[in-house]
């Protein structure tokens, strides 16, 4: 693609339509050319803009169309696939200043927000009103809802509540042309026209920019209990997942797993101890309910089924002290990983649940063959595994050689198991070339066709997911 | 050996409300948990208990809802739990609390080893432990960061103070208050939880303890909260927002400039 | 005439600065109450004349010293027995001690023996008009609340105060005063506790407690990497990095940097709170700073109520801009 670049005059024009100063100093450009994807090769934008209203977003898109300048929309910059960093310079549109809660509608159990609101703030607000927002990515304290929607973020409560898309009922979207459209609303049912909301959700900011978001809230369960269950090995742990559900008749809210290396990493990072630290794997199983007694019955059944299925012990965290400690460990693995080895590659493959052990064993093998270190953790209940390769002390040249080969093998294996290469982090820049190699032609053409229908001049987040 | 752990129950919430009348905490309606710093005392006790033939009791003074916190202690490994509960205990300050606890210890005693957390996360005074020790007339070692040896004739501990680390050896009976560095508290097991659910929590009131009403609760407390206030604007901040931010940053820069020059001369 | 007592804090054989801070406050209360100030010093060897002079200059009318080698390191039993005996010989109206590891141990012990009340970590002390009662103010948990506590019917009235809460007397009070030697009977200092070892670690390098400028970070920074401009600024102006409890709990920084009730009380010339909302526990640890700058994106954050200037916006961004502006200044 050939785009125009921004000269001083264009920058002036851009500034004239925006309330907040645009930025193009080196440090800002550098900062907005990165997200949290380790080792990503992206390019710097020429300017970063901070719109504060739908109108401003729309004006910038019209401007970009007029002058043929690419626009990369961006939330809080916590992405893990390079979705919010430019592939072609141009404009980075940061939505961080559109961070207002527009309406809290208790009667309809709906909340309407701007895209820059931090997800954790939505969770806290809902909580104060006795409600729950079901989306819960590990990054909830720092990621914004707009970004969650772009990636259809999953997280820890997908078992019960589903990923981000399950909670989105209404969207105001600025299309790449600058036109504004409103999709859905506060209706729970809606088959009037195509389900464009769920085409936008997960489209990684390539089809439009959500500027007003209506989310459904649910009643908050009064009690939650988390169980920590060590297993001798990954196989037993994963095989126990369906057994503990059918054995107990309970659908947990969360069902997470951590392998021995993950536990080791997080314990050293947080300077904490874990029981059975040398076990092959740990499951965290969380269950919610409306009364203490019912939750007790549920967790006892879950725990006993888990032990029957080979669990070494079941530890119970049923209050603030202990639950926070457990979840802190689970949610800190990514940070722990970054502290052990800033150079690493956290993957996001998703397979049918029962295939997790095979996938992990295979990953261990390819890591061993190539001299890489590896840890694995993720969402056992939904088959989403964060296989992560670690560079450690390996010389850079060898890492650069070994990693792509390992990834190719990992993705091939994932597809072979009937899985997909990203469950919740997205394709972005990081996995673009791999997606093209494993997706059939008809589907790739369809994706391209949809992109063209939305964005004929190819200016909104170009170079992501697939190339035209 | 007989081991006793002093536990305080604190509300299982971050948002605590105060009674504007007397400044005491409103505890109704929220569950209770063991004060997080007391968990370290409990963990120390459980480890000692597991190392030999020892009996481990936990005690707490509080409303009936504190049972929940005591059940957690049993789930973790305590043998028995005693709840000192009586309407007359309400409003106790640290002195009256220590008085009540030491009456129970006097009645049941002697205990060879008494453990307490450094302080509670709600009151943050850390006074009940040493006050209880003084009332019982036993040696007190505070800020224990490591238990080095639990011997027949005494215990060897390390304590962390401002200018270094001290190692003490003290014969029993002794009261120790521990910091969070001493260990990592365990999670209760499913088996422990099931056992704790039906465990008997022994209850004692002021009569059973033989305490005069004038020595307990609010009546027996030497201190009184006389005023609660939200601190008034002690400073009138000049606020910079939006387009004025640049001005604010310039002011901050001017404020720090002298230090910059000093440092770069 | 009844006295206000301060119990001295020492390091080795040196008087610790917190002693002079409390003498300053005690002197102020004594003027208001029309009473005098006495200092109690438990120490392993008799102090020098200069030490005595400093104590008088700092606000004491009378210095009581108990000399015994068992006072080399703090031991609960001997301390509370000797102090109790001192009190019984000439009961004071008020006893103040620093809230250090030893002060926070012997003061409760002494209060228990004397059957009186004790208030921990006072941030304000005053004399009530009319009754002459000591008004002890300390932060209470659960929002921005300060509780004022009295000990109406019991004497002495006892309080601990964290180091750096009050200031030493600004002027010389007197050059000479009364020195009273307290005879230490052996049975008072008998103790079953034995000190086996002491490893001195010093009090470390310049920590937050002694810093002139503190730039403290809080959860509003959202991510550990966003601390970067704080470290950068601290290097440029020779400041010290501080922290709220939440980011210490999140292991972004060590506990030694923590400012607040469960960390250090600080009193720098300039305190910059970046992304700190201002929980009462934090405020309690920094409100006596000379000049307070608050940076927070939430304009309703409590911290702005305690600041001299407030910048409403993203702390990382604002500090980054500040650092850039200061770098330009350096180049000039």
Whether residue B222 is contained in a domain is answered as no
Asked if residue C257 belongs to a known ligand binding site, the reply is no
| Cβ partners under 8 Å of residue A156, min gap 6 | A136, A137, A138, A254, A256, A286, A327, A330, A331, A379
Is the dihedral angle over the CA atoms B14, B18, B24, B29 positive or is it negative? negative
Whether residue B26 is contained in a domain is answered as yes
C-alpha pair distances (Å), B91 with each of A44, B22, B23, B132, B215: 63, 9, 9, 18, 12
CB C156 within 8 A of CB C88: no
* Disruptive mutation site among C15, C101, C155, C210 for chain B (greatest number of B CBs within 10 Å): C101
What pLDDT does B144 receive?
97
As for the ipTM of the complex, it is 0.83
Evaluate if residue C1 carries a pLDDT over 80.
Answer: no
Element holding C157 (H helix, E strand): strand C157-161
Give the pLDDT confidence of B208-257 residue by residue, as tens digits. Answer: 999 999 999 999 999 999 988 776 556 788 899 888 889 999 999 999 98
The answer on C70 and C144 residing in a single domain is yes
What pLDDT does C215 receive?
95
Q: How far is B7 from chain A (nearest CA, A)?
A: 15
- Closest residue by Cα to residue C138 from C152, C127, C122, C153: C122
Spatial separation of the C-alpha atoms in residues B237 and B240, rounded to whole Å: 9
Q: Closest to B189 (Cβ–Cβ): which among A296, A316, A322? A: A316
Q: How far is B181 from chain C (nearest CA, A)?
A: 12
* Phi then psi dihedrals of residue B198, to 5 deg: -105, 5
- Closest residue by Cα to residue A250 from A282, A296, A205: A296
User: How are the residues of chain C apportioned to helix, strand and coil, as percentages rounded to the nearest 5?
Assistant: 35, 25, 40
Ranges of each domain in chain A? 8-97, 101-219, 223-333, 341-437
Where are the strands (E) in A133-201, listed by range? Answer: 168-174, 180-184
Is the dihedral angle over the CA atoms B163, B169, B174, B177 positive or is it negative? positive
Tokens standing for residue B146 = 């490591």
Sheet with C94-98: strands ordered across: C118-119, C157-161, C94-98, C3-7, C36-43, C62-67, C178-182
Evaluate if residue C142 carries a pLDDT over 50.
Answer: no
Evaluate if residue B28 carries a pLDDT over 70.
Answer: no
Query: Please, what is the average pLDDT of chain B?
Result: 90
Evaluate if residue A106 carries a pLDDT over 60.
Answer: yes
Spatial separation of the C-alpha atoms in residues A163 and A348, rounded to whole Å: 14
Asked, colleague to colleague, whether A223-333 and A341-437 share their fold, the answer is yes
Give the pLDDT confidence of C154-163 residue by residue, as tens digits. Answer: 999 999 998 8
The answer on C124 and C247 residing in a single domain is no
Evaluate if residue B18 carries a pLDDT over 60.
Answer: no
Q: Closest to B260 (Cβ–Cβ): which among C195, C293, C329? A: C329
What pLDDT does B231 receive?
61
Evaluate if residue C323 carries a pLDDT over 80.
Answer: yes
At B16, is the pLDDT very low, low, confident or very high (cuts 50, 70, 90)? low
A75-108 burial code (b ≥16 CB/10 A, e <16): bbbbbbbbbbbbbbbbbbbbbbbbbeeeebeeee
Asked if residue C200 belongs to a known ligand binding site, the reply is no
Q: How far is A331 from chain C (nearest CA, A)?
A: 11
Evaluate if residue A40 carries a pLDDT over 60.
Answer: yes
Evaluate if residue C145 carries a pLDDT over 90.
Answer: no
More confident call, B149 vs A272: B149
B72: domain CATH number is 3.40.50.620
Proportion of chain A above pLDDT 90, given as a percent: 82
Q: Closest to B187 (Cβ–Cβ): which among A228, A303, A320? A: A228
A118 three-class SS:
strand
Number of structural domains chain B divides into: 1
Pairing status of strand A131-132 against strand A218-219: antiparallel
Q: For A149-167, what is the mean pLDDT? A: 94
The answer on C130 and C70 residing in a single domain is yes
What pLDDT does B20 receive?
54
Query: A-side interface with B, Cβ within 8 Å?
Result: 227-228, 272-273, 275, 296, 299-300, 303-304, 307, 313-322, 325-326
Closest A-chain CA to B38: A321
Q: Could you tell me the residue range of the domain that residue B73 belongs to?
A: 2-215
The answer on C134 and C49 residing in a single domain is yes
What pLDDT does B23 receive?
52
Q: Closest to C330 (Cβ–Cβ): which among B227, B245, B260? A: B260
Quickly name the fold that domain A223-333 has: Alpha-Beta Plaits (3.30.70)
A27-65 burial code (b ≥16 CB/10 A, e <16): ebbebbbebbbbebebbbbbbbbbbbebebbbbbbebbb
Give the pLDDT confidence of A212-223 residue by residue, as tens digits. Answer: 999 999 999 989
Query: Please, what is the average pLDDT of chain A?
Result: 93
More confident call, A169 vs C248: A169
CB C125 within 8 A of CB C22: no
Whether residue B12 is contained in a domain is answered as yes
At C8, is the pLDDT very low, low, confident or very high (cuts 50, 70, 90)? very high
Spatial separation of the C-alpha atoms in residues A392 and A144, rounded to whole Å: 31
* All partners of chain A with 3 or more CB pairs under 8 angstroms: B, C
What pLDDT does B17 receive?
55
The answer on C178 and C32 residing in a single domain is yes
A140 three-class SS:
coil
* Other residues' Cβ atoms within 10 Å of the Cβ of residue A14: 21
Whether residue C298 is contained in a domain is answered as yes
Contacts of residue B72 in chain A, CB cutoff 8 Å? Answer: 319
Pairing status of strand A209-216 against strand A110-113: antiparallel
B89 three-class SS:
helix
More confident call, A136 vs B122: A136
What pLDDT does C204 receive?
47
Whether residue C246 is contained in a domain is answered as yes
Whether residue C305 is contained in a domain is answered as yes
Q: Could you tell me the residue range of the domain that residue C288 belongs to?
A: 208-331
Proportion of chain A above pLDDT 70, given as a percent: 100
The answer on C125 and C88 residing in a single domain is yes
Contacts of residue C321 in chain A, CB cutoff 8 Å? Answer: none
Say yes or no for a CB contact (<8 Å) between A316 and B187.
Answer: yes
Q: How far is B111 from chain C (nearest CA, A)?
A: 17
Whether residue B246 is contained in a domain is answered as no
Spatial separation of the C-alpha atoms in residues B83 and B118, rounded to whole Å: 20
Say yes or no for a CB contact (<8 Å) between B193 and A318.
Answer: yes
Asked if residue C279 belongs to a known ligand binding site, the reply is yes
Evaluate if residue B123 carries a pLDDT over 90.
Answer: no
Whether residue B253 is contained in a domain is answered as no
Say yes or no for a CB contact (<8 Å) between C251 and A25.
Answer: no
Say yes or no for a CB contact (<8 Å) between C324 and A269.
Answer: no
CB A45 within 8 A of CB A14: no
Number of structural domains chain C divides into: 2
* Other residues' Cβ atoms within 10 Å of the Cβ of residue A422: 22
Evaluate if residue B128 carries a pLDDT over 90.
Answer: yes
Q: B38 at the C interface (CB within 8 A)?
A: no
Evaluate if residue C143 carries a pLDDT over 60.
Answer: no
Tokens standing for residue C116 = 């009186």
- Closest residue by Cα to residue A350 from A381, A384, A386, A380: A384
The answer on C133 and C254 residing in a single domain is no
Evaluate if residue C150 carries a pLDDT over 60.
Answer: yes
Spatial separation of the C-alpha atoms in residues A70 and A91, rounded to whole Å: 6
Give the pLDDT confidence of A341-373 residue by residue, as tens digits. Answer: 888 999 999 999 989 999 999 999 999 999 999
* DSSP-assigned letter for residue A361: H
Spatial separation of the C-alpha atoms in residues C27 and C45, rounded to whole Å: 26
Whether residue C153 is contained in a domain is answered as yes
- Closest residue by Cα to residue B24 from B225, B158, B220, B177: B225
Tokens standing for residue A402 = 């070994």
Residue found by looking up tokens 């040196």 in the block:
C14
What pLDDT does A465 receive?
94
Q: How many CA atoms lie within 13 A of A24 on its CB side?
A: 15
The answer on C156 and C24 residing in a single domain is yes
What pLDDT does B237 receive?
85
Whether residue B252 is contained in a domain is answered as no
* Disruptive mutation site among C17, C83, C118, C187 for chain B (greatest number of B CBs within 10 Å): C118
C113: domain CATH number is 3.40.50.620
The answer on C175 and C68 residing in a single domain is yes
Q: For C205-226, what is the mean pLDDT? A: 84
CB A129 within 8 A of CB A84: no
* Other residues' Cβ atoms within 10 Å of the Cβ of residue A111: 25
* CATH 3.20.20.140 given to domain A341-437: no
Q: A24 at the C interface (CB within 8 A)?
A: no
Domain A101-219 CATH (choose: 3.40.50.1000, 3.30.465.10, 3.40.50.620, 3.30.460.10):
3.30.465.10
What pLDDT does B265 receive?
44
CB A229 within 8 A of CB A303: yes
Give the pLDDT confidence of A109-149 residue by residue, as tens digits. Answer: 999 999 999 999 999 899 889 999 999 998 888 899 999 99
Spatial separation of the C-alpha atoms in residues C3 and C102, rounded to whole Å: 23
CB C143 within 8 A of CB C280: yes
What pLDDT does C63 receive?
97
Q: Counting one residue from A and one from C, how many pairs have CB atoms under 8 Å apart? A: 13
Q: For A278-298, what is the mean pLDDT? A: 94
Quickly name the fold that domain A8-97 has: 3.30.43
Whether residue C202 is contained in a domain is answered as no
Evaluate if residue C222 carries a pLDDT over 90.
Answer: no
Say yes or no for a CB contact (<8 Å) between C117 and B221.
Answer: yes
Whether residue C197 is contained in a domain is answered as no
């Amino acid at each position: 693609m050939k785009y125009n670049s921004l000269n001083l005059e264009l920058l002036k024009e851009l500034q004239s339509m925006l309330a907040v100063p645009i930025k193009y100093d080196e440090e800002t450009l550098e900062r907005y050319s990165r997200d949290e994807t380790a080792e990503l090769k992206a390019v710097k934008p020429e300017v970063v803009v901070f719109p504060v209203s739908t109108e401003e977003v729309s004006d910038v898109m019209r401007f970009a169309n007029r002058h043929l300048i690419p626009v990369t929309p961006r939330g809080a910059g916590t992405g893990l696939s390079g979705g919010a960093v430019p592939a072609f310079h141009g404009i980075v549109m940061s939505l961080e200043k559109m961070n207002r809660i527009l309406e809290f509608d208790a009667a309809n159990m709906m909340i309407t927000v701007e895209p820059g609101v931090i997800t954790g703030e939505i969770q806290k607000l809902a909580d104060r009103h006795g409600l729950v927002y079901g989306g819960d990515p590990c990054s909830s304290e720092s990621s914004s809802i707009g970004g969650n929607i772009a990636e259809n973020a999953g997280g820890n409560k997908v078992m019960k509540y589903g990923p981000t898309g399950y909670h989105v009922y209404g969207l105001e979207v600025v299309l790449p042309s600058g036109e504004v459209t409103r999709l859905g609303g506060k209706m729970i049912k809606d088959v009037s026209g195509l389900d464009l909301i769920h085409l936008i959700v997960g489209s990684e900011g390539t089809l439009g920019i959500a500027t007003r978001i209506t989310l459904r809230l649910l009643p908050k369960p009064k009690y939650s209990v988390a169980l920590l269950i060590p297993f001798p090995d990954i196989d037993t742990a994963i095989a126990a997942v369906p057994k503990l559900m059918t054995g107990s008749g309970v659908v947990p809210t969360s069902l997470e797993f951590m392998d021995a290396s993950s536990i080791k990493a997080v314990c050293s990072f947080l300077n904490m101890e874990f029981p059975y630290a040398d076990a092959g794997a740990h499951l965290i199983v969380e269950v919610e309910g409306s009364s203490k007694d019912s939750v007790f019955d549920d967790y006892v059944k879950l725990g006993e089924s888990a032990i029957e299925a080979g669990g070494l012990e079941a530890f119970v965290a049923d209050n603030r002290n202990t639950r926070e400690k457990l979840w802190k460990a689970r949610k800190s693995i990514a940070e722990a990983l970054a502290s052990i080895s800033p150079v690493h590659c956290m993957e996001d493959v998703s397979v049918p649940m029962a295939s997790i052990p095979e996938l992990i064993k295979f990953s261990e093998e390819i890591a061993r063959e190539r001299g890489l270190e590896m840890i694995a953790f993720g969402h056992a209940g939904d088959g989403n595994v964060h296989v992560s390769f670690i560079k450690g002390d390996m010389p850079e040249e060898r890492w650069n050689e070994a990693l792509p080969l390992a990834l190719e093998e990992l993705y091939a294996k994932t597809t072979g198991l009937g899985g997909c290469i990203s469950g919740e982090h997205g394709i972005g820049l990081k996995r673009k070339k791999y997606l093209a190699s494993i997706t059939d032609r008809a589907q790739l053409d369809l994706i391209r066709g949809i992109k063209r229908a939305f964005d004929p001049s190819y200016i909104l987040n170009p170079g992501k997911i697939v190339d035209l | 050996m007989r081991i006793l752990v002093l536990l305080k129950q604190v509300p299982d919430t971050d948002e605590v409300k105060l009674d504007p009348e007397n400044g005491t905490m409103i505890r109704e309606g929220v569950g209770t948990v063991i004060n997080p710093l007391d968990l370290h005392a409990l963990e120390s006790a459980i480890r000692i208990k597991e190392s030999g033939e020892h009996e481990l009791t936990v005690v707490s003074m509080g409303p009936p809802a504190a049972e929940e916190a005591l059940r957690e202690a049993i789930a973790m490994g305590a043998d028995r739990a005693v709840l000192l509960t009586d309407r007359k205990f309400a409003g106790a300050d640290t002195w009256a609390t220590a008085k009540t606890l030491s009456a129970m210890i006097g009645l049941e005693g002697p205990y060879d080893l008494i453990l307490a957390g450094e302080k509670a996360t709600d009151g943050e005074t850390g006074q009940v432990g040493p006050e209880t020790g003084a009332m019982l007339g036993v040696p007190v070692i505070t800020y224990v960061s490591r238990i080095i040896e639990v011997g027949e004739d005494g215990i060897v501990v390390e304590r962390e103070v401002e200018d270094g680390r001290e190692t003490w050896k003290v014969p029993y009976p002794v009261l120790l208050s521990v910091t969070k560095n001493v260990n990592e508290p365990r999670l209760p097991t499913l088996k422990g939880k099931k056992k704790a659910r039906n465990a008997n929590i022994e209850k004692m009131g002021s009569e059973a303890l033989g305490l005069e009403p004038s020595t307990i609760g609010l009546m027996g407390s030497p201190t009184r909260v006389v005023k609660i206030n939200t601190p008034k604007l002690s400073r009138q901040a000049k606020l910079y927002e939006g387009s004025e931010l640049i001005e604010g940053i310039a002011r901050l820069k001017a404020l720090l400039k002298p230090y910059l020059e000093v440092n770069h001369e | 005439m009844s006295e206000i007592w301060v119990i001295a804090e020492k390091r080795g054989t040196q008087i610790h600065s917190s002693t002079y801070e409390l003498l300053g406050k005690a002197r102020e209360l004594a003027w208001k109450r029309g009473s005098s100030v006495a200092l109690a010093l438990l120490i392993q060897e008799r102090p020098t004349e200069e030490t005595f002079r400093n104590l008088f200059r700092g606000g004491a009318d009378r210095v009581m010293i108990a000399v015994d080698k068992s006072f080399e390191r703090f031991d609960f039993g001997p301390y509370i027995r000797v102090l109790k005996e001192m009190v019984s010989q000439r009961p004071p109206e008020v006893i103040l001690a620093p809230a250090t590891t030893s002060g926070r141990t012997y003061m409760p012990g002494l209060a228990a023996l004397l059957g009186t009340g004790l208030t921990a970590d006072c941030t304000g002390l005053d004399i009530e008009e009319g009754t002459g009662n000591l008004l002890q103010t300390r932060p209470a948990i659960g929002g921005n609340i300060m509780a004022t506590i009295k000990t109406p019917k019991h004497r002495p009235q006892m309080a601990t105060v964290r180091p750096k809460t009050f200031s030493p007397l600004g002027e010389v009070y007197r050059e000479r005063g009364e020195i009273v030697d307290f005879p230490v009977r052996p049975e008072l200092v008998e103790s079953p506790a034995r000190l086996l070892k002491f490893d001195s670690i010093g009090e470390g390098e310049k920590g937050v407690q002694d810093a002139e400028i503190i730039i403290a970070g809080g959860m509003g920074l959202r991510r550990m990497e966003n601390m970067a401009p704080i470290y950068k600024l601290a290097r440029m102006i020779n400041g010290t990095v501080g922290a709220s409890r939440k980011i210490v709990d999140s292991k972004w920084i060590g506990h030694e940097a923590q400012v607040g009730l469960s960390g250090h009380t600080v009193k720098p010339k300039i305190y910059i709170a970046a992304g700190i909302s201002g929980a009462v526990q934090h405020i309690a640890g920094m409100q006596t700073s000379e000049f307070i700058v608050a940076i927070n994106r939430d304009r309703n954050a409590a911290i702005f109520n305690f600041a001299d200037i407030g910048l409403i916006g993203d702390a990382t961004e604002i500090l980054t801009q500040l650092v850039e502006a200061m770098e330009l200044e350096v180049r000039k």
